[in-house]
Every structure is written in structure tokens, then in C-alpha cells.
Amino acid sequence: MNESGAPLGGGLSGRVALITGGNGGIGGTFARALAARGCTVLILGRNEQKSLQVAEEIRAAGGRAETYTADVTDEAGLGRVAEDIVQRFGGLNILINAAGGNVRAATAQQDQLADAGEETTFFDLPAESLQQEVDLNLRGTWLPCKVMAPLMEGRTGACILNISSMGALTRIPGYSAAKAGVSSFTRWLATYLARSGIRVNALAPGFFSTEQNRALQFNEDGTPKPRLQKILAGTPMGRLGRLEELTGAMLFLTDERASGFVTGVVLPVDGGFSAYSGV
Ligand SMILES: NC(=O)c1ccc[n+]([C@@H]2O[C@H](COP(=O)([O-])OP(=O)(O)OC[C@H]3O[C@@H](n4cnc5c(N)ncnc54)[C@H](O)[C@@H]3O)[C@@H](O)[C@H]2O)c1
């Protein structure tokens, strides 16, 4: 419930929401949830087929959804999307940056150097793998904010929601660094836009199983990897999150009747992972 006693997200009807990675696990969940609350959802992804699937599912349920095929690291491509949005929808109310994830080539194969055998260590990782992580996760958030925020000025309930992550995680140094950048950039942009009527926040999900991290958590035959046992041991609630459990936090941060004075926060949704020191 929000301040007016209305259900969370109940005031979002009629809003136009662009979701990068809206064809993925978290982005798709958010697309369906916002469409169910009356938003026109614009799904942006690289894989047109995957985007169309989500859009068709939303339309079949009576919602409004359109798709854009673009890469979040390509400024010119995002510019063309922005022009089309202005022509067809007049502007944007909500931007959710949910494209991102791990890059396999940027992964060390052990938690600590002392455990290393023959397999890839941090010292074997090519510098390009850091660039790939930073491009996808940080540039891929920075650029959509830069290109789309001008479409949001003066629009009701204008807000940006980025997706950060937990702090430094073992094995994925570039991802951890890039997501720290996303958290810091979120706070910077929130300050910068605070008097322009655009709120900027981020979610920091704990551990949810989706396409981009499945190989870190499960073997090919579906059995859990030791890393998953570690994740569960480090999560006081003792389980992975369910994607729907991110929806309430997303609706809270995008519904200005609930969070109109909230900007610059990075909200963990993690079953207690970030609160727990391990002892
Ligand atoms: N799943 C988790 O446990 C978890 C935890 C913390 C943070 N996150 C973050 O949440 C976000 C969403 O991840 P997810 O778990 O839903 O992953 P996902 O792989 O299911 O979805 C990511 C989507 O982004 C799209 N994408 C990738 N690169 C792109 C590009 N360059 N341009 C446009 N689209 C691109 C992919 O096609 C995919 O559909 C990511 O930023 C991820 O780092 C996820």
C-alpha cells in the first residue's frame, strides 16, 4: 500500500516504461508486472525473438507491449530508439536498465588464488574481459540514462531504476567492479537530476537463477555446483530468490506515490546476504 492507501503500483497505469534486457529473467518479470498495472511496456534487447515472445505473452494477457532491437552499448542505436519513442509515445515515464550480467571469459575458476591448480586464474584473464564487463554493465547503464533521460523531463512520475548487485563477489572481478560503478553512478545521477523531476534508484539483487549466471551455479546436468552451496550458506534465508520477489521493490521505487521522496538508494533484495558477515 502507498501513502494514499492504494495498492503498490496502482498509479502506474498509462505510463510508458522502457526496459532494457526486458526479454531476460529480471527484465521480463518487470515487463509483465508493469504491463499488468496498465503501463505500455517497451522491451529493448539484442535478441528480437526473445523480446517478441515476452511482448506476445503480455498482449495475450491484455497488456500493451512493443519491442526494440538494440544493443545498450551502442549510442547511435539507442538514439534511433529514442527518436521512435518520441514520435510514437511522446516521451518516457520509466526507464529500467536490466540488461547486464556476467561475461564467461572474465571468470576466474577459483575463489582464492591459494586454491588454484591448472585452471584459469585472475592472472590469466585478458584485459579485454574487464572491458566487456564494464561495457555491458556500466556503459550499458550509463548510455541508456544519457540517451533516454531527456525524454523523461516533465513527465509524470519520471524515474530510472538501475540494477546493481551484491558487493565484490569471488571469481568475477570485472563484474564486481562494474556493478560498484553502477551503484556509484546511480547516486551521482540521482543528485544531478534531483531538481529536474527524475528520481534515480537501483536494486541490488542477491542470488536469483537466470540465464547469465546459471553456469556459475549449476552443472550442465542441473546438479548444484559448490558455489551454489556457498551462496545458500551465505544467505540467511537459505535459498535463492524467486524473480517475483523483486517485483515489489521495483513497484515501490517506480511508483512515486510510494517513493516520491526516495532517490539515490541502492536497495538490496537478497534474503539477508548483505547483512550477514558469515559468522
Ligand atoms: N540473476 C541474478 O541473480 C542477479 C543478481 C544481481 C544482479 N543481476 C543483474 O540483473 C540484470 C538482469 O539480469 P538477469 O539475471 O535477468 O539476466 P538475463 O540474462 O536473464 O537477462 C539479461 C538480458 O539482457 C540482455 N542483454 C545482454 N546484453 C545486452 C546488450 N548489450 N544490449 C541489450 N540487451 C542485452 C540479454 O539478452 C538478456 O535478455 C543484470 O544486470 C544482472 O547483472 C542479476
Mean pLDDT confidence for 167-188: 96
For residue 6, is pLDDT > 80? no
The pLDDT, as a whole number, for residue 277 is 93
pLDDT for the residue numbered 2: 55
Q: Give the CA count within 13 Å in the CB-facing half-sphere of 110.
A: 13
Residue 4 reports pLDDT greater than 70: no
Does residue 139 carry a pLDDT above 60? yes
Q: Are 198 and 159 in contact (CB under 8 A)?
A: yes
Q: Is 100 in the pocket of ligand 1 (CB under 6 A)?
A: yes
pLDDT score at 142: 98
Does the pLDDT at position 143 exceed 80? yes
**pLDDT over 70, % of the chain:** 98
For residue 1, pLDDT over 70 is answered with: no
- Strands (E) across 31-155 are located at 40-45, 64-69, 94-97
- What counts of helices (H) and strands (E) characterise the chain? 10, 7
Find the range with the poorest average confidence among 70-79, 98-107, 140-149, 179-188.
Answer: 98-107
pLDDT of residue 60: 98
Q: Which atom of ligand 1 is nearest to the CA of 208?
A: 3
Query: Torsion-angle region of residue 121: left (phi > 0), alpha (psi -120 to 50) or beta?
Result: beta
pTM of the model: 0.97
Eight-class DSSP state of 207: -
Q: What is the pLDDT of residue 216?
A: 85
**Mean pLDDT of the 16-25 span:** 98
Q: Is the CB of 268 under 6 A from ligand 1?
A: no
156 lines ligand 1 (CB under 6 A): no
Our answer to whether residue 276 is catalytic in this structure is no
Mutate to test the pocket of ligand 1, among 95, 161, 210, 269 (most ligand atoms within 8 A of CB): 210
- What is the set of domains in the chain, with CATH numbers? 16-206+243-269 (3.40.50.720), 211-240 (no CATH)
Residue 77, pLDDT above cutoff 60: yes
- The DSSP secondary structure of 89-121, one letter per residue, reads HSS-SEEEE------GGG--SSSSGGG--SS--
